[in-house]
Amino acid sequence: MISLAQKKLILSLSRKKKRDELSLFVAEGEKVVSDLLRGGMVAKYIFSVPEKISIVENICPSANIVSVDEVELSKVSSLSTRSHIIAIFQRPADADVLASPPADIALFLDDVQDPGNLGTIIRTADWFGVHNIICSSTCADAYGPKTVQATMGALCRAKISYTSAEDYLSFAKNNWHIPIVGTLMDGNDLYSLDIPIPAIVIMGNEGHGISQQLQKFISHRVLIPNYPAGVVTSESLNVSAATAVLLSELRRRMS
């Protein structure tokens, strides 16, 4: 069963302050927990219903597994649907993003606020082999429950760092001299613009796009055109959808 101290720990990790303080986060669900374990993430505790314990043991025989029933799990779950497995993982340390320039595509997220969007972007980036993800200090927390769930396990392959947006982009522009790509409504058509790789790709806030302070660092201003040209459509793409389109096109050119 889950001890009182363990219950308090799980519930406390719903708060970013506590996640930062303890360098821990919670993941729920058989698929997410299994993928994180396979990806090398270190679990402090794994709480599982008896019939699912063998799944965890096959992946990580040395895991600290606590057998619990569904009622106990439901009391500490953040999901509306029942979880059969809940785990507390060690949060990886942020990489030193200024240590070396990106060798491929680096994704920079400027003030992405919605946890679901952030999680979907991490999952999308993983699909396209983009694992270097730098977040501005005002972005949603990549290790919050909703974000972790939306990544569907891709978090284990992502190298996520939080830093000052201006400090990072200023350093990159002045020292690395690689393309800094930004999606803007007054940009050039993505499908006709030459974008050398490696590059840093900036994706902006859901409502305001890339902030004015950061636009000065952009060397390649990109527009994802609607279709057909000149016809009124939705005002813009969701940031996670725009990320998918942009990364897909960049990867297509590299194939």
Q: How far is CA 195 from CA 200, 230, 255, in A?
A: 10, 25, 14
Q: Coil, strand, or helix at residue 175?
A: helix
pLDDT at residue number 76: 92
- Residues 95-122 have pLDDT tens digits of 899 999 999 999 999 999 999 999 999 9
Dist CA 199 CA 155 (whole Å): 22
Q: Strand runs (DSSP E) across the chain, as ranges?
A: 24-28, 43-48, 65-67, 85-90, 105-109, 132-136, 159-163, 180-189, 199-203, 220-223
User: What is the pTM for the complete model shown?
Assistant: 0.94
Q: pLDDT at position 47, please?
A: 96
Question: Which stretches in the chain have pLDDT values below 50?
Answer: none
Q: Quick check: 152 and 35 in contact, CB under 8 A?
A: yes
